[in-house]
Amino acid sequence: MIYKVSYVVIGGDRRGAVINQDYAPEVGAQVELGDQVCEIVEVQELVPPMGDFAYLHVTCRPAAQPPAESTASGE
Amino acid sequence: MEITPSVLHTMDLFTGLSEEQLAAIAKIGRVTVYHRGEVVVREGEQSTAVYVVLKGQVEVVSELTENTTSLVILGAGQNFGEMALLDAGPRSATIRCISTEATLLTFDGAALMNFWEQESKVGYRMIFNIARDLAFKLRIRNLTTAMPGEGMSL
C-alpha cells in the first residue's frame, strides 16, 4: 500500500507537506518536513483507499527534540 | 536514477497504468536533479511542463506579496505544474528544492499532450489521476481553512 499523506503542522512556521510513503504514519512518530522535525498527534483517513493508494490527513506539531530515527524525510 | 515501471507505480499520477504504459510514459520524461535552493519553477512564468518528485523535497512558495510565503512542501510521489498544463496560465507559485538534492521527472507539456492524443486510455487515466490529486488538495485546503490560524495553504 502507498500512503499519500498530507501533513499539517499546528504552530511552528505553519508549513505542511504532502508525501507518498510506503508505511502508515502513527501517532507519536516523528517526521521531517523540510528543516522542521514534527511529532504526529492525529491520523485520519481523508477519503477511502483507491487501488494501491490510501489517502491520509495527519496533524502534527513541532517536536521538542530531533528524531531518533529517520521517518518521512523523503531524502 | 533509472525510471522503471516499479518506480512510477508508487506515484499516484500513474496509478491504473499497465507496466507497458508506464514504460512508454517513462520514455517521454526527463530526469533532472536539483540542489538545495535551486528554483524549479518561477511564479508568473509561462510554461506547461509537468513535474513529479521522485526523491527529495521541494517547497511551494508564493511571491504575490512583498513577503514570500511558504505554502507547502512536496515530497516523493507528488506532481506539480499540472495547473498550467490544464489552463495555460502563468505559474501560480515558485517551486524550489529544499532537500540536499531533489530528483524530478519532467514532462514537456506539448509532448505529454501529444502522447495522450495517441494513447487516449493513458490520457484518460492520467487526467483522472490529476483531477483526483486536485480534489485531494482541495479537501486538505478546506480542512485547514477551517482551522483558524493553523495549518497550511495549498
Express each pLDDT in B24-71 by its tens digit.
Answer: 999 999 999 999 999 999 999 999 999 999 999 999 999 877 778 888
pLDDT band at B95; cut points 50, 70, 90 = very high
Structural domain includes residue A8: yes
Helix %, strand %, coil % of chain B (to 5):
40, 25, 35
- The three-state secondary structure class of B88 is coil
Structural domain includes residue A47: yes
* pLDDT score recorded for residue A12: 65
pLDDT band at B151; cut points 50, 70, 90 = very low
Domains contained in chain A, number: 1
Give the strand pairing for A36-50 and A53-62.
antiparallel
pLDDT digits (tens, 9 = 90+) for A8-42: 998 766 678 999 999 999 999 999 888 889 999 99
CB pairs under 8 A between A and B: 111
* pLDDT score recorded for residue B37: 95
Q: Which residue(s) pair with A21 in the sheet?
A: A3
Choose among B70, B101, B132: nearest Cβ to A13: B70
- Mean pLDDT across B74-79: 95
The top-level CATH class assigned to B5-110+117-143 is: mainly beta
Choose among B10, B55, B143: nearest Cβ to A2: B10
End-to-end alpha carbon distance in chain A: 20
Structural domain includes residue A44: yes
Structural domain of residue A57, as residue ranges? Answer: 2-62
Taking contacts as CB-CB distances below 8 angstroms, the residues of chain A near B139 are 46-47, 57
What share of chain B has pLDDT > 70, as a percent?
Answer: 95
Give chain B's mean pLDDT: 90
Q: Which residue has the higher pLDDT, B152 or B10?
A: B10
- The three-state secondary structure class of B12 is helix
Place of cell 493553523: B150
Task: Please tell me the pTM assigned to this model.
Answer: 0.87
Comparing alpha-carbon positions, the chain B residue that sits nearest to A11 is: B150
Closest CA to B128 of B18, B12, B30, B49: B12
